Structure 1
Amino acid sequence: MGAASNKPDQHLKYEFAYKLDDLEGVRSILDDFLRLETRRYTGDEAASDLIIDLKEAIRLAKLTDKQRDVLQLHYVFGYKQREIGAQLGIERSVVSRHLLAAEKKITKVYAHWSKLDRIGGYSI
């Protein structure tokens, strides 16, 4: 996915950094969300494409409200799982399950996109 850019070398750099059709790659880009968000406003078109795609993958993943809350509190605001649990009034283990479920759903979206790229087609 991702929009075309006039700086393909930046896209290649990020492709090596983020293997987005597996769980670790998705965790990696989520960990770097704020850094990439900042870079997109300094003219890094590849970072902008990554953020746009990430937000679309999250939207398509159809996360529950709790999964979305946990994901945002952890990756955007930097809270630890026990802090999220205290804030939401749930056990840390429940936070962990929501976080993992959200990450897996996002990974499935990227894996689907990757499969479509390999076969050269897109579904409507």
Structure 2
Amino acid sequence: ETALLPTHFSNLAASPASLSLQQLRAFARNQDVGSHPTYFYETWVNRRMALPAISLIMVLLAAPVAQSLQRQRGVALGLVVGIGLGFLYFITDGLLQALGESGMLPPLLAAWSPMALFTMIGAASLIRVEGH
């Protein structure tokens, strides 16, 4: 007899993106459970908690573009820079996520550093556009 249920086996085979936060935390806490090392699941736990901030960062990256469109100077350049920064964010986020999953970066750094970096970039470009 065992306490294992079929859902336990399906959770082992599931992608971390499809697991709930509680399931990811359970895998991260128990070293003997899961099909990956604990740092893999810890990276996904941190990413899941950081995920709501992405929408705010995208707004912060778009704000300088909106300001330049309003003032009608550098519209094309502002649009290209805004789209480029958004694209660069997703590339950086994916790269650091992969480094966190492989254990080359601490999970906290892998999940939160793209947020911090692009928040600083967005704030700096907004300050530059505003002229302060």
TM-score, reference length from structure 1: 0.31
Name the structure where helix makes up a greater proportion of residues. Answer: 2
Query: Could you say which structure has the larger radius of gyration?
Result: 2
TM-score, reference length from structure 2: 0.30
